[in-house]
């Protein structure tokens, strides 16, 4: 049943009667139907004191090596752990890249719509309620699988996304990274009444004010901070795109970096990726704005390496967000099989650029059979030599590279520090037509006092809402002007 229908039912009956009504719809136990242990998904009991009254499910590929990463995946309202396991694509990459996944599940006993309590201080704070239960699951899984405590990640959709942001704020010492899909900034609301206001448009806070909400969740913590991916559909009217902007402002401020992207590019499914690098030039925050997508998790059914998931309610066909999230976290560099990893190549440097190519060189690694070269997180070449020229690039564009040594068995080592190279010449202009909300969410515009201004030119675009639409022309990179009367790329 759709959440909108359930909400209308709640408004028409007393709260206790409403809960009974949902209980009847969801199952006689008063909880959401338990997730089936199908296809390898297993329920775990006795994982801790469980102060948040959650259920724990998990999936791990056969022969999982010790010291592998661990991912926590949180479902959205009216969903179950089994729905997220079945449709999100996480099991595919757990098998391919070698890591375990924990799927927490809440029920109607906690919330009538089976939403995680991202808006409830008793549930989303450090050492409290559901947040504490999820961390207990993490600790249990780490002991069970011998997981690497430095590589624990959390992701979630909608209410699960809101809880993801709260977990990253409350437990930055537990989670190395997070991914918030159609979710809310950390500590956006402190009551169920305030939750609706956040969904339709969070408070117009400054980046520093949003960042203070994170810093206040674990006072005295000095870092390192989690790396955060933010996924948002431009046509999401359940959790409006303004939340993606607030999330970007919040986590870039926590990292101490600006709100202007270091690089912006296009991905499949009408997706615009904006990358915000840390002081070392490594991506710290990345936003993914999916043009025309409504409320849900972006999936891309198919058997391709970058395809995943199945379409269903709130699993929308656009792009495999799970793949791109995993690459952002570096999960694709963790290959099962054990053995000692080769060290990171040192001395990665740019030796030359043209309008359509970048040349790289690095110091050879003893024991390396080959080297994997990655551009903007995706592998573009394997070479036996300690140099490579990347052809077919776009003029006037910044590209980020890392190199990984690979041994004779095909096992990759640690990735090198990242370098950035910019091709010569002028970058071609690009045109973007979208609502003001979507332009801000994609990192092409910013808000001040309820109005929207184009990044770079600071041209006034009008009110910060989903009803005003403009075309922006980008040239050079990061500089946007209004081009409603005609935009030539």
Distance CA 245, CA 230 (A): 9
What does DSSP say about strands 398-406 and 412-415: parallel, antiparallel, or unpaired? Answer: antiparallel
What is the 3 state secondary structure string of 100-142?
EEEEEECCCCCCCCCCCCCCCHHHHCCCCHHHHHHHHHHHHHH
Q: What's the burial of 209, exposed, middle or buried (CB within 10 Å: 0-12/13-18/19+)?
A: middle
Distance CA 13, CA 341 (A): 61
Distance CA 102, CA 485 (A): 50
Cβ atoms of 30 and 108 closer than 8 Å: yes
**Catalytic annotation on 196?**
no
Of the residues 88, 147, 158, 300, only one is catalytic, namely: 158
Ordered DSSP codes for 233-244: ETT-SSS-THHH
- The answer to whether the peptide bond before residue 476 is cis (omega within 30 degrees of 0) is yes
Sheet containing 430-435, strands listed edge to edge, beginning at the edge strand earlier in sequence: 430-435, 469-474, 480-482
Catalytic machinery residues: 158
């Amino acid at each position: 049943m759709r959440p909108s229908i359930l909400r209308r039912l709640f408004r028409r009956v007393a709260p206790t009667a409403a809960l009974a009504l949902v209980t009847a719809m969801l199952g006689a136990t008063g909880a959401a139907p338990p997730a089936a242990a199908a296809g390898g998904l297993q329920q775990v009991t006795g994982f801790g004191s469980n102060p948040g009254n959650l259920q724990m499910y998990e999936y791990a590929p056969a022969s999982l090596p010790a010291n592998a990463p661990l991912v926590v995946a949180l479902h959205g309202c009216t969903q179950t752990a089994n729905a997220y396991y079945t449709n999100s694509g996480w099991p595919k990459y757990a098998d391919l890249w070698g890591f375990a996944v924990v799927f927490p599940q809440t029920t109607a006993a906690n919330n009538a719509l089976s939403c995680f309590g991202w808006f409830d201080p008793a549930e989303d704070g450090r050492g409290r309620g559901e947040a504490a239960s999820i961390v207990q699951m993490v600790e249990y899984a780490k002991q069970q699988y011998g997981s690497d405590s430095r590589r624990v990640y959390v992701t979630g959709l909608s209410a699960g996304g809101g809880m993801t942001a709260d977990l990253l704020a409350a437990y930055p010492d537990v989670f190395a990274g997070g991914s918030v899909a159609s979710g809310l900034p950390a500590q956006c609301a402190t009551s169920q009444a305030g939750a609706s206001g956040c969904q339709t448009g969070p408070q117009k806070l400054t980046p520093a004010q949003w960042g203070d909400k994170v810093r206040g969740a674990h006072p005295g913590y000095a870092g390192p901070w989690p790396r955060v991916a933010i996924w948002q559909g431009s046509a999401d009217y359940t959790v409006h795109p303004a939340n993606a902007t607030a999330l970007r402002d919040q986590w870039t401020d926590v990292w101490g970096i600006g709100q202007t992207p270091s690089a912006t590019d296009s991905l499949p499914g009408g997706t615009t990726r904006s990358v915000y690098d840390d002081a070392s030039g490594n991506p710290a925050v990345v936003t993914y704005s999916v043009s025309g997508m409504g409320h849900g998790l972006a999936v891309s059914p198919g058997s391709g390496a970058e395809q995943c998931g199945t379409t269903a309610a709130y699993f929308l066909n656009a792009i495999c967000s799970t793949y791109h999230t995993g690459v952002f976290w570096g999960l694709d560099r963790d290959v099962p099989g054990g053995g000692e990893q080769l060290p990171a190549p040192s001395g990665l440097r740019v030796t030359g650029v043209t309008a359509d190519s970048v040349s790289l060189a690095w110091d050879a690694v003893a024991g390396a059979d080959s080297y994997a070269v990655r551009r903007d997180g995706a592998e573009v070449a394997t070479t036996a030599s300690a140099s490579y020229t990347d052809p077919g690039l776009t003029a006037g564009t910044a590209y980020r590279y890392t190199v990984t040594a690979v041994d004779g068995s095909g096992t990759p080592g640690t990735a090198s520090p990242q370098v950035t190279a910019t091709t010569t010449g002028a970058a071609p202009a690009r045109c973007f037509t979208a609502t003001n909300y979507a332009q801000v969410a994609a990192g092409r515009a910013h808000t001040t006092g309820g109005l929207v201004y184009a990044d770079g030119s600071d041209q006034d675009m009008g009110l910060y809402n989903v009803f005003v639409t403009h075309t922006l022309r980008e040239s050079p990179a990061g500089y946007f002007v209004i081009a409603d009367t005609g935009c030539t790329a």
